[in-house]
Structure 1
Amino acid sequence: MNTKFIISVVVSLLFINAFSQNKKETLSKDKGLSKHPFLYVGEWDTRKPKEQSMFIVRDGKLDWQYSIPMKTATGAIQEFDDVTMLSNGNIVFACMSGAGIITPEKNLIWEYHCEKGTETHSIQPIGKDSVMMMLNANSAKILIFNTAENKLLKEILIPTTNTNTHGQFRHVRITNKGTIMVPHLSENKVVEYTMDGEAIWSVKSKSPWAAIRLKNGNTLISGDRSQYTREVNPKGETVWELTQKDVPFTLYNTQTANRLANGNTVITNWCAGIKNTEEWANTVQVFEVTPSKEVVWKLSSWDNPDLGPSTYIQLLDEIGNPDNGELQR
């Protein structure tokens, strides 16, 4: 056999092996930061006892960050639970001990402080100048504020049997029909209420953290510690569900889900229930799946930037106006 030919083959094989190895190393270092621009928050990052942060990532890099103290001056706990960037760039957020609106320049232009014994983990914009909040309390209620005038427009009492306010509710959303989807976290059910507080639909769901009414009329429910994301039809029948058996990485608390315009679903995977924080770096924070449950994107960024545990994400390249509930999130 020709010696030059043998040498050529060996060199080619070495090149291919080196290329493959470099590709593997590149893939292993890929944090998933470049797939979408996004706004990101996660509750209860215990590694950072002094402050909690929200982040904007663009072009694979940290573009903006805003932080608040872990505790208020009166000792109330703060953690980012809910967030929406409006079309004007302002950001509406809930942080357990209250809520606010922050400008891109980090000016706090509206804020709400929860009274002792109450909490809010949920806020949704209604246009640019109003918001809906869920107030966990022993008289739990929906609050609708005109934020431009700091005026309370409406209160809607929400019945609950749970006197432990922290476990009552998380993400609450207005539907495109003007009703309100309320996941009763500790009561294992999702209930749809009118603006007058009348219950008109419900479904049993274990530990529901969030529930959104989809454009197809179905409801997408996030099962938190029960580790499911489930779509049910108006009869309450499950028509789509993702659980641990469907993904090749560990699910922890599936707190929220977005249904994208292309039919894919983006799910947050909150890991802060793991007490050993050294284990967090091996977890997937957010992932996107097709209707057939193929994973097309996953985020795992625990350094440069360290985004922390994942509770809620807004993809900034998604079509639709975030001010009026067009996004399925």
Structure 2
Amino acid sequence: MHNFSKKGIFIFLLLPILLIGQKTAEIKHSFFMAGPQFTGIIDEAGEELWNSGRPGARDGYVLESGNLLICWADEILEYNTKKEVVFSYKRAEKSMELGTAVRLQNGNTMITESGTKPRIIEVDTNGKVVQSVPLLPETDNVHMQTRMARKLENGNYLVPHLLAFAVKEYDSNGKVIRSFRTDLEDFGGKADENWPFTAIRLKNGNTLITLTHGNKVIEMDPEGKVVWKVDNADLEGNPLADPCGAQRLSNGNTVIASYGAKEGVKLLELDKHKNKVWSYSGHSVHHFQILTTNGKPLLGKPLK
């Protein structure tokens, strides 16, 4: 028999009422976004904080210095806090498309160039190519060869290839070390057009992948098994429309860019149980970087 005091019984009975009365703190984010109408920074109130003046960017980041590194199809520019260009790189050939720009720890910049000879390059601070890695996208369609590639801590490269239905991990010589298939029958196969767009290696060793026309986001373990998946069947209002960019936050939540959404939700944050905890419904978002949450910086130093 439980030995509750009268005070303990009162608190026990009152607890559900207290919990119902509690409100979860509202989440507010500021973020960098690359999109077809706007490329810049949105503050926590949803207002434009910094505008590049040039829409249509594909990739980009606020760096730890506070500078912005932004990738368009034809060139990459780095702006300092005075909005002066301090670094630039133009595609090697007019027929090429640039798709990724990531500043590496050694100061070099990693770039993807799609074209007749698709490749990853690393360039130094003067824009000189110091590393070139050939890619195998399995298509001559330049626009559909690859998207958000990232360099891993082991020196390899994680590269999504849309029409190959695969995220491939390359070594520095261009050899495919392993491949994560996105045409598995378990979630619709090729018929669902599960084209991989963004691939991110998580701290737990798994890989987070957005699947554009398939309107899904999946997490795969190192063996290529799906351990987490979200699609519109899990969500109210079918908010996933051509998901492109994604980010896994330190609290385990996943933020997804719904690039194809004409109206309504353009950015969506889900917890691990697929509950919506935050959304943004302004400009269309291709790629993004969450910068602050309720005033606390996450990455980089947002421009003022």
Confirm or deny that 1:237 pairs with 2:212. no
Post-superposition CA distance 1:225-251 (Å, at most 9, x none): 110100000111000001011111232
Indicate the percent of aligned positions where both proteins have the same amino acid. 28
Counterpart in the other structure of 2:171 = 194
Matches within 5 A, 1:82-93: 82-93=59-70
Partners of 1:224 and 1:105 in 2: CA distance: 36
Counterpart in the other structure of 2:264 = 283
Counterpart in the other structure of 1:7 = none
Partners of 1:58 and 1:160 in 2: CA distance: 37
Contact 2:65 2:300 in 1 (8 A): no
How far apart are 1:256 and its partner, in Å?
1.6
Counterpart in the other structure of 2:129 = 152
> Structure 2 residue aligned with 1:141, among 105, 111, 119?
119
Q: TM-score, normalised by structure 1?
A: 0.75
Say which SS state the counterpart of residue 196 (structure 2) adopts.
coil
> Structure 1 residue aligned with 2:42, among 57, 68, 84?
57
C-alpha RMSD of matched pairs (Å): 1.9
TM superposition outliers: structure 1 runs of 4+ over 6 Å: none
Contact 1:255 1:269 in 2 (8 A): yes
Matches within 5 A, 1:74-223: 79-114=56-91, 115-127=93-105, 129-147=107-125, 149-205=126-182, 206-223=194-211
Matches within 5 A, 1:290-309: 290-301=271-282, 308-309=283-284
Letter in 2 for 1:82: D
Matches within 5 A, 1:38-57: 38-43=31-36, 45=37, 53-57=38-42
Partners of 1:95 and 1:104 in 2: CA distance: 19
Confirm or deny that 1:257 pairs with 2:250. no
Query: In the superposition, relative to structure 1, how do residues 143 and 322 fare at CA in structure 2: closer, same or farther (>3 Å)?
Result: farther
How far apart are 1:121 and its partner, in Å?
1.3
Post-superposition CA distance 1:71-107 (Å, at most 9, x none): xxxxxxxx20101110111111111112121122211
Contact 1:190 1:208 in 2 (8 A): yes
Partners of 1:322 and 1:125 in 2: CA distance: 12
Query: In the superposition, relative to structure 1, how do residues 320 and 177 fare at CA in structure 2: closer, same or farther (>3 Å)?
Result: farther
Letter in 2 for 1:171: M
Moved more, 131-140 or 313-322: 313-322
Partners of 2:134 and 2:106 in 1: CA distance: 24
Higher-helix-fraction structure: 1
Say which SS state the counterpart of residue 205 (structure 2) adopts.
coil
Say which SS state the counterpart of residue 163 (structure 2) adopts.
helix
Q: Structure 2: any 5+ residue segments left out of the alignment? A: 1-25, 183-193
Letter in 2 for 1:271: G
Partners of 1:144 and 1:133 in 2: CA distance: 6
Letter in 1 for 2:147: R
Q: TM-score, normalised by structure 2?
A: 0.80
How far apart are 1:59 and its partner, in Å?
3.7
Counterpart in the other structure of 1:226 = 214
Confirm or deny that 1:311 pairs with 2:296. no
Contact 1:80 1:94 in 2 (8 A): yes
Partners of 2:241 and 2:298 in 1: CA distance: 30
Give the length in aligned residue pairs.
259
Partners of 2:120 and 2:94 in 1: CA distance: 17
Partners of 1:234 and 1:130 in 2: CA distance: 28
How far apart are 1:150 and its partner, in Å?
2.4
Say which SS state the counterpart of residue 63 (structure 1) adopts.
strand
Q: Structure 1: any 5+ residue segments left out of the alignment? A: 1-31, 46-52, 71-78, 273-279, 302-307, 324-329
Counterpart in the other structure of 1:27 = none
Post-superposition CA distance 1:242-270 (Å, at most 9, x none): 10111112321111210110000000001
Partners of 1:84 and 1:142 in 2: CA distance: 18
Letter in 2 for 1:99: I
Moved more, 56-65 or 212-221: 56-65
Letter in 1 for 2:280: L
Matches within 5 A, 1:12-23: none
Say which SS state the counterpart of residue 187 (structure 1) adopts.
coil
Contact 1:38 1:313 in 2 (8 A): yes
Contact 1:271 1:283 in 2 (8 A): no
Partners of 1:311 and 1:249 in 2: CA distance: 20
